[in-house]
């Protein structure tokens, strides 16, 4: 599953480098995301890319560290989870958080596409 680890690492690099046009390559057109701490669903690749843009524009990231990438493959579907820690600053203050990204990824002969994403807060420190 080294291909998936490379895919997720590249996704993280892309959003941190603010390469928004490139982010479209990681997501299916109809991707869904459950927002952290909410029941609201973000629908579609445009909304997904916009969520990265909004976060980057409203925050200053001091550090972002992935502690592991684990994946499980079922035919053409991959479930992947990625624990992380982030230190960022927004208008209301500076935050250090730990969380877990969870992805459902569709595998084709030529690429991977994320079809589901959610983020869980593990704790704040």
Annotate the chain with three-state secondary structure.
Answer: CHHHHHHHHHHHHHHHCCCHHHHHHHEEEEEEEECCCCCCEEECHHHHHHHHHHHHHHCEEEEEEECCCEEEEECCEEEEEEEEEEEEEECCEEEEEEEEEEEEEEECCCCEEEEEEEEEEEEEC
Strand partners, 77: 74, 106
Tell me how far apart the alpha carbons of residues 32 and 41 are, in angstroms, rounded to a whole number. 7
Q: Is the pLDDT of residue 110 over 90?
A: no
Query: What pLDDT sits at residue 30?
Result: 98
Using one digit for the tens of pLDDT, what is the confidence trace for 44-62?
A: 999 999 999 999 999 999 9
Using one digit for the tens of pLDDT, what is the confidence trace for 8-41?
A: 999 999 999 999 999 999 999 999 999 888 889 9
Average predicted confidence (pLDDT) for the chain: 94
Residue of 98, 96, 91, 78 whose CA lies nearest to 36: 98
Asked if residue 89 lies in contact with residue 64, where contact means CB atoms within 8 angstroms, the answer is no
| CA-based torsion, 86, 16, 67, 31: positive or negative | positive
Tell me how far apart the alpha carbons of residues 90 and 60 are, in angstroms, rounded to a whole number. 7
| The token pair that represents 20 in the structure block | 């928004």
* Domain tally, the chain: 1
Domain span holding position 49 = 2-124
What is the pTM for the complete model shown? 0.91
What CATH number does the domain containing 68 carry? 3.10.450.50
Quickly count: other Cβ atoms within 10 Å of residue 99's Cβ.
17
């Amino acid at each position: 599953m080294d291909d998936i680890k490379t895919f997720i690492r590249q996704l993280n690099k892309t959003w941190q480098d603010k390469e928004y046009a490139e982010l479209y390559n990681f997501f299916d057109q109809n991707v869904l995301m459950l927002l952290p701490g909410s029941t609201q669903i973000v629908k579609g690749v445009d909304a997904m890319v916009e969520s990265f843009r909004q976060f980057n524009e409203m925050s200053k990231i001091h550090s972002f560290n992935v502690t592991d990438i684990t994946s499980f493959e079922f035919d053409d579907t991959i479930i992947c989870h990625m624990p992380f820690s982030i230190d960022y600053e927004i208008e209301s203050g500076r935050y250090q958080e730990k969380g877990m990204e969870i992805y459902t990824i569709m595998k084709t002969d030529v690429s991977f596409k994320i079809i589901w994403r959610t983020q869980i807060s593990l704790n704040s420190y």
